[in-house]
């Protein structure tokens, strides 16, 4: 990127940031809306969370600043969010955000790891199919990918776990405590393997990457590259690989987060997903609210990064 | 080695071959399998509704726990309580069939409305609806559902409403895309020039003639999604509760017996899930390739 | 084989012999016979203009020569000989091993081709030829350039690949030198321009610079002026003429625009329905007083509006009928259905038998039953 391109690029990035901020605002409105409409007035409990003085009269409550109108409540609630106050878990009484931060890393690892794993399988198949058309090999591979995408990930997880117990004798795998010496590192890869293969995103990833690469390979400028004897991949890389890969990665993050909820159950993995399940069981809405917000924020962050890559690569993007 | 043969006789005889002869055989296989699955599911739903089951799905038979298929009258064997698996599997369809239909109806109808508003009216509508799309897509579906469960209650119909709403953006953008395509071909302009009222243009020409394949495909894919959600939620314990069977809770309950080496009670419903979701997905993809794919001469 | 008149002792630079490039229509279960037995030759430093309507196979011929045909079955038979530095070699060497053709009544009815194998083999044959010895420029220059890369970078890529200017700095200087040569203003600034910021004419100049900077022996220009504005077209034609003279590069110029062909060609080949129907020196083929020519060429020339016809306000003379569909190729002369000069004496031949390419004057050949008796192919 030349220096002259930096200014317009930063303008575009500023716009992307603004759009992201707007969307996060919308996310907060949706979450708030659900809580507001919920029976039992969970908002109330949330807003007065830190100092539950429900014995106070209505007038006193208002004096304390707990508004009754929906926009007032939203403002208060949103204000608390910005201060990092997501309320306290009903079950444990602990503040939500720090708890989320503690376990969120595990889910992050699971999500990103499985994303990488899925790519590892999808990319070779897609590239081969785009470059060589329908061969027996990649047709079979695609079909297998389809099957894996339809497999219920929870069952698949159990099968994999069983194989590990039976074949490798890693006994207390399910309970999440320490395993036998020397195999501990495998324990961290298994959930990624399971989610990576069976999350349902594999077949779509292959399809998207293959379609985009095929489309680019048929473009005029690739023909020019061939005509001048230049390596085709160098010219096809940006539009045919980099952009589609980042696109599909950012698009599939929400699916993988959803899959993480299930996989964390199977492996008793201490992450946000399992916490979400627990919270739904207990109707612990501060926790689940926090998770929803954090998850959405993560999705938007991924999307923002993808837009950054797109802008950096695409000369036309900075001119708009 | 590829072999190309010119058919003898005058050319033009073969042009305009019917679809099923022109199509790639693999796509036909996909669609065939998918239709088979749809038929089986629909039939099983009816069987389940009227109670025409091969055996009592709730009858506990301690003597015959975890029986293999074809053991004394149980075609698919029994589960960990000796209950007939075949009957339970058929009954399990009840858990997702109607809710799934609800979800796809909402997503198709809502998606059409939004898509038409965005594509046909354009401008401001388009921006708002795109914003709405991106907003909905920001949430992982399962997390949003868990939030709804925590705030309200774990009712499968509530949940399917959420599923339907979260599927609307995808359909809306497809329809808006189709409209943009038609607009580019001056199709819409021509229709207006002919004096057709907007309602006819939208309903008959845009939707029915041009979008119906797309909508059918999205509906089948939506059903696959709904089944996945329902079974996942039942697995997590939020859907149908024991002793009522759902494929999800059957897998979950059966998994406890893995350590004993008993795979079948958990695997049978898992295979059912696999075969069914695969069927709907392949049907959707096959139809997509056949009807919406780039026409190759 | 068509031996060019201006050949040097070593023979033509590029000699295409009996090239057949077919495609296949699955819907119609029939071959699309895009190039159906084409023989052409270009001598060193000479410009061969190939003229014909869309569908005549002229672009596909060029693509076949450059090895850029990807659809199936593609090139199925023929010989393309490239002669540089005294040695000649066949760019379609070994094609028989990968493509088997079955004929019936003199017409190809089945083809068996190992496409992957041929593609690998062809890439090996063409490595070191494409870009370096044979360069090609295309129609629609804006889409033919990589939109994600500056024209400078794309130029430098060619220079570093195919010339001795390997260093980054010297390659850049060389690139700017070429941008100047193609008359692009402020070349140093334009170096960092992306294609989308440049006009069609400028993109075409950049493409020319890219092609010629490798100093190839042969330049293939496929409809270089089509799609450009009329005023820009003539400027690009001027540029081509100037560069031709300056670099002495042999050129195959493909166009449906006769005026462009007229201005730049030394020799001309007229193509119709996948075959060459006339070939000869430019003056001979195009000269208005020449009587002996292929009826199609005559019709083409008659359809061009010129000052005279405009002044007299006469009707434009269109050629009746439709361009030949290369799927349903007739048995006899391909132009028979639209020809106005059929006489009863030759009618039977025209309808049933394809005329051979016959020499009606030294270096001037016509494929027509009117003249077939006159000379030998």
Q: Given C27, C111, C327, which is nearest B22 (Cβ)?
A: C27
ipTM of this complex: 0.87
Who's near B1: CB < 8 A, 6+ residues apart? C112, C113, C114
**Mean predicted lDDT score pLDDT of chain A:** 83
* Beta strand residue intervals within A122-270, DSSP E: none
Cis peptide before B243 (omega within 30 of 0): yes
How much is the pLDDT for A237? 93
**Among A275, A256, A255, A257, residue whose Cα is nearest residue A265:** A275
Q: State mean pLDDT over B116-142.
A: 86
Report the 3 state secondary structure along chain C: CCCCCCCCCCCCCEEEEEEEEEEEECCCCEEEEEEEEEEEEECCCCEEEEECCCCCCHHHHHHHHHCCCCCCEEEEEEEEEEEECCEEEECCCCHHHHEEEEEECCEEEEEEECHHHHHHHHHHHHCCCECCCEEEECCCHHHHCCCCCCHHHHHHHHHHHHCCCCCHHHHHHHHHHHHHHCCCCCHHHHCCCCHHHCCHHHHHHHHHHHHHCCCCCEEEEECCCCCCCHHHHHHHHHHHHHHHHHHCCEEEEEECCHHHHHHHCCEEEEEECCEEEEEEEHHHHHCCCCCCCCHHHHHHHHHCCCHHHHHHCCCCCCCCCCCCCCCCCCCCCCCHHHCCCCCHHHHHHHHHCCCCCEEEECCEEECCCCCCCCCCC
Task: List the single range of A17-21, B19-23, C98-102 with lowest mean pLDDT.
Answer: B19-23
On whether residue C356 sits in a domain, the answer given is: yes
Kindly list the residues from chain A whose CB atom is less than 8 angstroms away from the CB atom of residue C192: 2, 4
| More confident of the two residues B20 and C353 | C353
Model confidence at B259, pLDDT cuts 50, 70, 90, reads confident
Residue C3 scores a pLDDT above 50: no
What number of C-beta contacts closer than 8 Å exist between A and B? Answer: 147
How much is the pLDDT for A168? 65
How much is the pLDDT for B15? 55
Same domain, C120 and C144: no
CB contact under 8 Å between C27 and B8, yes or no, is no
Kindly list the residues from chain C whose CB atom is less than 8 angstroms away from the CB atom of residue A221: 143-147
Cis peptide before A15 (omega within 30 of 0): no
CB contact under 8 Å between B4 and C24, yes or no, is yes
Task: List the single range of A252-261, A292-301, B203-212, C47-56 with lowest mean pLDDT.
Answer: B203-212
Tens-digit pLDDT profile for residues C277-302: 999 998 888 887 778 888 888 888 88
Best of A15, A147, A153, A258 to substitute, by most chain B Cβ atoms within 10 angstroms, is: A258
Q: State mean pLDDT over A92-117.
A: 90
Kindly list the residues from chain A whose CB atom is less than 8 angstroms away from the CB atom of residue B236: 261-262, 265, 277, 280
CB contact under 8 Å between A223 and C138, yes or no, is yes
| Number of separate domains in chain C | 3
Model confidence at C268, pLDDT cuts 50, 70, 90, reads very high
Residue A284 scores a pLDDT above 50: yes
**Mean predicted lDDT score pLDDT of chain B:** 84
Model confidence at C2, pLDDT cuts 50, 70, 90, reads very low
Q: Is the CB of residue C114 less than 8 Å away from at least one CB of chain B?
A: yes
Q: Given B135, B140, B282, which is nearest A257 (Cβ)?
A: B140
Kindly list the residues from chain C whose CB atom is less than 8 angstroms away from the CB atom of residue A313: 148
Residue B296 scores a pLDDT above 80: no
Same domain, C141 and C260: yes
On whether residue C275 sits in a domain, the answer given is: no
Same domain, C14 and C92: yes
CB contact under 8 Å between B142 and A280, yes or no, is no
How much is the pLDDT for A20? 92
Q: What is the pTM of this model?
A: 0.87
Q: State mean pLDDT over C176-202.
A: 91
Nearest chain B residue to C97, by CA: B1
How much is the pLDDT for C343? 81
Tens-digit pLDDT profile for residues A112-138: 999 999 999 999 999 999 988 888 888
Best of A227, A309, A320 to substitute, by most chain C Cβ atoms within 10 angstroms, is: A227
CB contact under 8 Å between B4 and C328, yes or no, is no
- Cα–Cα distance between C13 and C133 in angstroms, integer? 10
Indicate the SS3 state at residue A291. Answer: helix
Who's near C74: CB < 8 A, 6+ residues apart? C21, C22, C23, C64, C113, C115, C118
- Cα–Cα distance between A32 and A116 in angstroms, integer? 33
CB contact under 8 Å between A239 and C148, yes or no, is yes
Q: Given B26, B143, B251, which is nearest A291 (Cβ)?
A: B143
How much is the pLDDT for C87? 81
How much is the pLDDT for B181? 84
On whether residue C281 sits in a domain, the answer given is: no
**Among C184, C251, C254, residue whose Cα is nearest residue C226:** C254
Q: Given C26, C29, C115, which is nearest B296 (Cβ)?
A: C26
How far B167 CA sits from the closest chain A CA (Å)? 13
| The last residue of a domain, from among C106, C129, C152 | C129
| The last residue of a domain, from among C264, C299, C322 | C264
**Among C191, C156, C152, residue whose Cα is nearest residue C171:** C156
Q: Given C25, C28, C115, which is nearest B2 (Cβ)?
A: C115
How much is the pLDDT for A177? 47
On whether residue C280 sits in a domain, the answer given is: no
Q: Name the DSSP letter for residue A170.
A: -
Find the Cα–Cα–Cα–Cα dihedral B89, B92, B97, B102, rounded to 10°. -160
User: Could you tell me if B97 and B160 are in contact, meaning their C-beta atoms sit under 8 angstroms apart?
Assistant: no
Question: Which tokens sit at C107?
Answer: 């017409």
| The last residue of a domain, from among C129, C147, C176 | C129
How much is the pLDDT for A303? 93
Tens-digit pLDDT profile for residues A22-78: 999 999 999 988 888 888 777 777 766 544 445 555 555 555 555 667 788 888 888
**Among C355, C349, C348, C352, residue whose Cα is nearest residue C372:** C355
Who's near C127: CB < 8 A, 6+ residues apart? A229
How much is the pLDDT for B176? 87
Tens-digit pLDDT profile for residues B39-77: 999 999 988 888 777 777 777 777 767 777 777 777 778
How far C229 CA sits from the closest chain B CA (Å)? 24
Question: Percent of chain A having pLDDT more than 90?
Answer: 43
Nearest chain B residue to A279, by CA: B150
Same domain, C112 and C165: no
Same domain, C259 and C150: yes
How much is the pLDDT for A7? 65
Nearest chain A residue to C207, by CA: A224
Residue position matching structure tokens 């992982």: B140
How much is the pLDDT for B25? 82
Model confidence at B273, pLDDT cuts 50, 70, 90, reads very high
State which H helix or E strand residue A30 sits in.
Answer: helix A3-37
Best of A30, A45, A254 to substitute, by most chain B Cβ atoms within 10 angstroms, is: A254
On whether residue C277 sits in a domain, the answer given is: no
Task: List the single range of A169-178, A226-235, A257-266 with lowest mean pLDDT.
Answer: A169-178
Q: State mean pLDDT over B132-146.
A: 91
Nearest chain C residue to A317, by CA: C148
Q: Collect all residues from C whose CB is shorter than 8 A from any CB in A.
A: 66, 68, 116, 126-132, 135-136, 138, 140, 143-149, 157-158, 161-162, 192, 194, 196-197, 207, 210-211, 214
Who's near B127: CB < 8 A, 6+ residues apart? none
CATH of the domain at C167: 3.40.50.300
Find the Cα–Cα–Cα–Cα dihedral C328, C333, C336, C341, rounded to 10°. 170
Residue A85 scores a pLDDT above 50: yes
How much is the pLDDT for B61? 74
How much is the pLDDT for B115? 87
Nearest chain C residue to B1, by CA: C114
Same domain, C92 and C206: no
Same domain, C250 and C350: no
Q: Is the CB of residue C25 less than 8 Å away from at least one CB of chain B?
A: yes
Centre a 10 Å sphere on the Cβ of residue C182 and count the other Cβ atoms it contains.
Answer: 22
How much is the pLDDT for C314? 73
User: Could you tell me if B161 and B99 are in contact, meaning their C-beta atoms sit under 8 angstroms apart?
Assistant: no
Same domain, C342 and C321: yes
How much is the pLDDT for A223? 94
Residue A178 scores a pLDDT above 50: no
On whether residue C111 sits in a domain, the answer given is: yes
CB contact under 8 Å between A288 and B147, yes or no, is yes
Kindly list the residues from chain C whose CB atom is less than 8 angstroms away from the CB atom of residue B12: 28, 328
Best of C146, C178, C195, C196 to substitute, by most chain A Cβ atoms within 10 angstroms, is: C146
Kindly list the residues from chain B whose CB atom is less than 8 angstroms away from the CB atom of residue A158: 251, 255, 258, 266
Indicate the SS3 state at residue A150. Answer: helix
| Structural domain boundaries enclosing C151 | 137-264
Nearest chain B residue to A291, by CA: B143
Who's near C168: CB < 8 A, 6+ residues apart? C156, C160
How much is the pLDDT for B295? 45
Tens-digit pLDDT profile for residues C318-361: 777 777 878 888 888 888 878 888 888 778 888 888 888 888 88
Per the DSSP assignment, residues forming a β-bridge with C20 are C36, C77
How much is the pLDDT for A169? 61
**Among C196, C253, C203, C258, residue whose Cα is nearest residue C228:** C203
Same domain, C256 and C297: no
Q: Given A4, A220, A315, which is nearest C138 (Cβ)?
A: A220
Same domain, C251 and C324: no
Per the DSSP assignment, residues forming a β-bridge with C14 are C42, C82
On whether residue C271 sits in a domain, the answer given is: no
Question: Which tokens sit at C278?
Answer: 């006339």
How far B183 CA sits from the closest chain A CA (Å)? 23
Report the 3 state secondary structure along chain B: CEEEECCCCCCCCCCCCCHHHHCCHHHHHHHHHHHHHHHHHHHHHHHHHHCCCCCCCCCCCHHHCCCCCCECCECCCECCCCCEHHHHHHHHCHHHHHHHHHHHHHHHHHHHHHHHHHHHHCCHHHHHHHHHHHHHHCCCHHHHHHHHHHHCCCCHHHHHHHHHHHHHHHHHHHHHHHHHHHHHCCHHHHHHHCCCCHHHHHHHHHHHHHHHHHHHHHHHHHHHHHHHHHHHHHHHCCCCCCCCCCHHHHHHHHHCCCCCCCCHHHHHHHHHHHHHHHHHHHHHHHHHHHHHCCCCC
CB contact under 8 Å between B270 and A155, yes or no, is yes
On whether residue C274 sits in a domain, the answer given is: no
Angle between helix axes B85-92 and B247-255 (nearest 10 degrees) is: 140
Q: State mean pLDDT over B13-28.
A: 70
User: Could you tell me if A287 and A275 are in contact, meaning their C-beta atoms sit under 8 angstroms apart?
Assistant: yes
Neighbours of C, requiring at least 3 CB pairs below 8 Å, are A, B
**Among A108, A107, A105, A110, residue whose Cα is nearest residue A192:** A110
Same domain, C370 and C257: no
Same domain, C249 and C143: yes
Tens-digit pLDDT profile for residues C28-65: 788 899 999 999 999 988 999 999 888 888 999 999 99
- Cα–Cα distance between A83 and A210 in angstroms, integer? 45
- Cα–Cα distance between A268 and A261 in angstroms, integer? 10
Task: List the single range of A175-189, A212-226, A274-288, C77-91 with lowest mean pLDDT.
Answer: A175-189
How much is the pLDDT for A202? 92
Tens-digit pLDDT profile for residues B204-241: 777 777 788 889 999 999 999 999 999 999 999 888 88
Tens-digit pLDDT profile for residues B275-285: 999 999 999 98
How much is the pLDDT for A176? 46
Model confidence at C249, pLDDT cuts 50, 70, 90, reads very high
Model confidence at C173, pLDDT cuts 50, 70, 90, reads very high
């Amino acid at each position: 990127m030349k220096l002259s391109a930096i200014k317009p690029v930063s303008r575009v990035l500023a716009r992307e940031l603004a759009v992201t901020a707007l969307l996060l605002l919308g996310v907060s409105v949706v979450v708030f809306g659900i809580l507001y409409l919920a029976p039992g007035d969970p908002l109330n409990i949330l807003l007065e969370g830190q100092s539950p003085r429900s014995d106070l009269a209505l007038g006193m409550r208002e004096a304390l600043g707990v508004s009754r109108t929906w926009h007032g409540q939203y403002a208060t609630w949103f204000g608390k969010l910005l201060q990092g106050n997501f309320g306290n878990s009903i079950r444990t009484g602990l503040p939500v955000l720090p708890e989320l931060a503690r376990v969120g890393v595990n889910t992050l690892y699971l999500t990103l790891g499985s994303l990488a794993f899925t790519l590892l399988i999808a990319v070779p198949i897609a590239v081969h199919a785009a470059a060589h058309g329908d061969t027996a090999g990649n047709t079979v591979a695609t079909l297998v990918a389809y099957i894996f995408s339809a497999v219920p990930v929870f069952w698949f997880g159990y099968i994999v776990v069983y194989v590990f117990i039976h074949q490798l004798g890693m006994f207390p795998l399910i309970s999440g405590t320490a395993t036998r010496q020397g195999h501990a590192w495998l324990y961290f890869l298994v959930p990624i393997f399971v989610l990576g293969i069976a999350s349902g995103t594999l077949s779509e990833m292959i399809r998207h990457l293959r379609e985009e690469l095929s489309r680019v390979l048929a473009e005029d400028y690739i023909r020019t590259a061939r005509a001048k004897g230049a390596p085709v991949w160098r010219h096809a890389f940006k539009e045919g690989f980099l952009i589609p890969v980042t696109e599909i990665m950012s698009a599939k993050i929400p699916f993988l987060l959803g899959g993480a909820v299930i996989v964390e159950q199977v492996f008793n993995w201490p992450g946000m997903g399992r916490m979400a399940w627990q919270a739904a069981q207990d109707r612990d809405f501060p926790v689940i609210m926090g998770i929803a917000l954090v998850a959405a924020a993560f999705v938007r962050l991924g999307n923002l990064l993808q837009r950054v890559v797109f802008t950096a690569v695409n000369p036309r993007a900075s001119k708009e | 080695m590829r072999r190309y043969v010119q058919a003898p006789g005058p050319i033009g005889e073969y042009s305009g071959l019917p679809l099923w002869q022109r199509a790639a055989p693999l796509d036909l296989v996909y669609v065939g399998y998918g239709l088979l699955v749809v038929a089986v599911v629909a039939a099983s739903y009816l069987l389940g509704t009227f109670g025409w089951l091969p055996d009592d799905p709730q009858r506990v038979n301690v003597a015959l726990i975890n029986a293999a298929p074809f053991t004394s009258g149980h075609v698919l064997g029994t589960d960990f309580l000796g209950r007939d698996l075949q009957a339970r599997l058929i009954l399990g369809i009840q858990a997702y069939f109607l809710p799934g239909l609800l979800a796809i109806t909402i997503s198709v109808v809502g998606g059409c409305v939004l898509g038409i508003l965005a594509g046909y009216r354009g401008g401001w509508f388009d921006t708002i609806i795109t914003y709405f799309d991106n907003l909905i897509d920001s949430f992982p579906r399962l997390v949003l559902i868990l939030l709804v469960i925590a705030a309200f209650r774990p009712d499968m119909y509530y949940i399917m409403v959420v599923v339907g709403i979260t599927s609307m953006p995808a359909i809306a953008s497809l329809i808006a895309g189709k409209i943009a395509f038609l607009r580019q071909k001056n199709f819409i302009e021509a229709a207006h020039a002919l004096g057709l009222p907007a309602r006819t243009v939208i309903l008959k020409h845009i939707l029915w003639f041009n979008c119906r394949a797309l909508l059918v495909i999205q509906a089948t894919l939506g059903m696959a999604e709904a089944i996945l959600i329902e079974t996942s939620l039942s697995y997590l314990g939020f859907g149908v509760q024991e002793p009522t069977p759902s494929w999800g809770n059957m897998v979950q309950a059966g998994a406890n017996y893995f350590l004993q080496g008993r795979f079948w009670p958990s695997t049978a419903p898992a295979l059912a899930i696999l075969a069914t979701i695969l069927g709907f997905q392949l049907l959707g993809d096959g139809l997509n390739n056949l009807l919406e794919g780039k026409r190759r001469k | 084989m068509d031996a060019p008149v201006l050949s040097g002792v070593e023979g033509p630079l590029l000699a295409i012999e009996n090239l057949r490039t077919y495609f296949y229509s699955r819907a119609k279960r029939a071959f699309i016979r895009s190039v159906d037995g084409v023989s052409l030759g270009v001598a060193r430093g000479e410009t061969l203009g190939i003229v014909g309507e869309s569908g005549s196979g002229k672009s596909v011929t060029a693509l076949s020569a450059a090895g850029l045909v990807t659809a199936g079955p593609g090139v199925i038979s023929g010989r393309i000989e490239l002669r540089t530095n005294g040695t000649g070699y066949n760019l379609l060497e070994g094609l028989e091993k990968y493509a088997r053709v079955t004929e019936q009544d003199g017409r190809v009815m089945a083809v068996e081709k190992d496409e992957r194998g041929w593609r690998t083999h062809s890439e090996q044959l063409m490595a070191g030829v494409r870009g370096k010895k044979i360069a090609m420029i295309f129609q629609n220059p804006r889409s033919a350039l990589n939109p994600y890369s500056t024209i400078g970078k794309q130029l430098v890529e060619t220079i570093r690949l195919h010339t001795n200017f390997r260093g980054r700095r010297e390659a850049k200087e060389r690139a700017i030198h070429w941008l100047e040569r193609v008359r692009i203003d402020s070349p140093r600034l334009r170096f960092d321009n992306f294609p989308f910021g440049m006009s069609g004419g400028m993109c075409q100049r950049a493409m020319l610079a890219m092609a010629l900077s490798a100093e190839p022996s042969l330049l293939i220009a496929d409809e270089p002026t089509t799609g450009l504005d009329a005023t820009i077209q003539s400027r690009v034609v001027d540029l081509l003429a100037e560069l031709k003279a300056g670099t002495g590069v042999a050129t195959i110029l493909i166009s449906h625009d006769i005026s462009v062909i007229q201005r730049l060609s030394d020799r001309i080949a007229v193509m119709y329905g996948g075959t060459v129907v006339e070939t000869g020196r430019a003056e001979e083929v195009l000269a208005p007083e020449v009587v002996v020519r292929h009826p199609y060429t005559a019709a083409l020339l008659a359809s061009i509006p010129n000052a005279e016809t405009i002044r007299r306000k006469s009707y434009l003379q269109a050629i009746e009928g439709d361009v030949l569909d290369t799927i349903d190729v007739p048995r006899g002369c391909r132009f028979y259905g639209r020809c106005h000069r059929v006489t009863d004496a030759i009618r039977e031949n025209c309808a049933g038998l394809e005329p051979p390419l016959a020499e009606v004057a030294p270096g001037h050949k016509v494929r027509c039953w009117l003249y077939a008796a006159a000379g030998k192919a």
